[in-house]
Chain A
Amino acid sequence: MTPLTQINAEITTHPAGDLLTSEEVSLARRELRRKKLIALALVIPLLIFLFFTFVAPIGTMLYRSVYNPTVAELIPQTLSSLESWDGQGMPDKAVMSQMAADMKRLANLRKSGKLAESINRYLPGTSSVIKSTARKLRRKDDQKIISQGAEFLLAANDKWSQPEIWQALIKAGKVYTDGYFLTALDLERNDAGDIQQRTSTQIYIKLYAKTLRMALIITFMCLLLGYPLAYYLANAPSKTANMLMILVLLPFWTSLLVRTTAWIAMLQTNGVINSLLTSLHVISSPLEMLYTEFSTIIAMTHILLPFMILPLYSVMKGIDPSLMRAAMSMGAKPPSAFISVYFPNTLPGLSAGALLVFIISVGYYITPALVGGTDGQMISNIIAFHMQQSNNWGLAAALGSLLLVLILTLYWVYDRFVGASNIKLG
């Protein structure tokens, strides 16, 4: 009950003599409003911070994955004149001349490269066509381009006589596009405009699957290593437990980069493990461990282990030790008492830890980038690639949005079957 309804309830339930006068009611209301304002003022800085660091970036990312204004801004007139074209055969001469005029303008503004790059995503091989044509058009007279632009284009490159390049222009010219999402899902539109599996390379779905598989393996490894340790910690005398807890938390105090690089030193061809095994004559030639999926999984398990141990530990610490004793006094052997009584009570911590590790590892970037090589790359590395190297922010945004959707879906499934209220972080 909010304080206000409480006041109302008091008004209605009290005998007439206890009724508040209207003045008192308004005073009480004002007091309540003042409290609410103060509460709001206290959280406003956080809300602003959250907006700029969380809501706004994610919103921008989602928007970018469907918003593609580059081409539309570069050649607006060509695009509007292309609207009259039915998509069959070749467009009108006037349209082609308009394109020539736009390209000359872009060439002089030194923006033809940007156009070439954008169109190339839709029709590979077009980049050089556009760049060279633009170069040739730069010296042509404006008047002549208006009358003979189409001829100039055809003369510059015979690709201009094929409808595909014009279709590509239309596709690239759409301000709002589902193209990035289709690409991210290994789909494409065929000439008829229907969605189909991409005929060329298919990498993203496989990468998503691999990312999920690796995250699952990492979660499972963390569980396997973390559960017994958390159990030991929770039942050890507090002096030992505190000491060991510091060791568990130690990784948080050292730089992530340092820890990851340490794994490079451990795993490389002439690294610690290989030299040790060789000198013990276990192996004759060094194992290839670095830059593989294996190294990513090992290093990430190490880095994420505390996220599994901490919730497990706090939940186990809260389990009454007399539960196990009670089970045993009732005749259960220790293993069966553990399975039927102790384990079910650790599930909140276990699911919290597993969820935490899984979600963090699905989106992990630094470790796979450093020790993963090509084999151990995860989806976030491809996203980073599109952000930094191929400059295809739209695709990066689409991949990121899909990752977000994937995680939300998994969380939803988890909530359906396990119940999010079961999570206990501390």
Chain B
Amino acid sequence: MLKSKPIRQREPGKNPGLPYLLPALLLLAWFLTTHFQLLPPYLLPKPTDTLRALVRFAAPGATGPYGGTLWVHLWHSLGRVCRGFGLAAGAGLLLGYLCGRRQGLNRIISPFVHLIRSVPGIGWLPLAIVWFGVGEKNTLFLISLASFFPIFTNTVHSAASVSQQIILAGQMLGAKKTALFTSVILPASFAGVAVGLRLGLGIAWAYLVLGEMTGVNYGLGAVMTDARMLGNTAMVIVCIVVIAIAAKITDSLLLLGCRLAAPIEQEKAGGNS
């Protein structure tokens, strides 16, 4: 066979470094701003000081403010996110599939859900505090309420968009009732549902911080509030970074889980590029 050189087009937007461009610029700006002391340290601490605070926070047994306490706080926060997200996913998937496949039920439930959704999440905070007090339950309530909506809406939409012909094909091949749901409707709608789950998980982290700031003993949000009151801006930034990383990791894990459950998504993503 003739061996020709593969034509390598310069594909714009395919450079693997692109996603890191903006963070790198931001870091540079941060470095320069503090180096030339354009802002006082209580507004913007030095990147090196912040890094030192992070190391102290993470290193087990470290002394000094917040020394070595990262893991216990992270553990509590992660637990809350998982519980809140788990509740939201359970309710969102169940109701979503029911509404997506049952037009009558959808007409009863969806308008009401959309009505509630129009209240911004923070608007629930005062009521949540009245109902559940500050702390644990209130945080769980906020997380699960906020992450319920994208999961529910995406599930309803994806379940309703499974084409009638695909369902007929499944029935024709002998899939009835539960088998039809698990072997046809579920996988056919899975891609859209996964999008909803990812959105929901992202929102869970956002509302975690909101809930924890109202007062819990352990949790990244609690550290943030505490550090802010003590004027320890470096620690506030450290917490933001830790939350970003943790959220990114849980998102990747969720994505991985989805891909294991539905390998075709991977294939498609690979095939289209």
Are the chains A and B members of one assembly? no
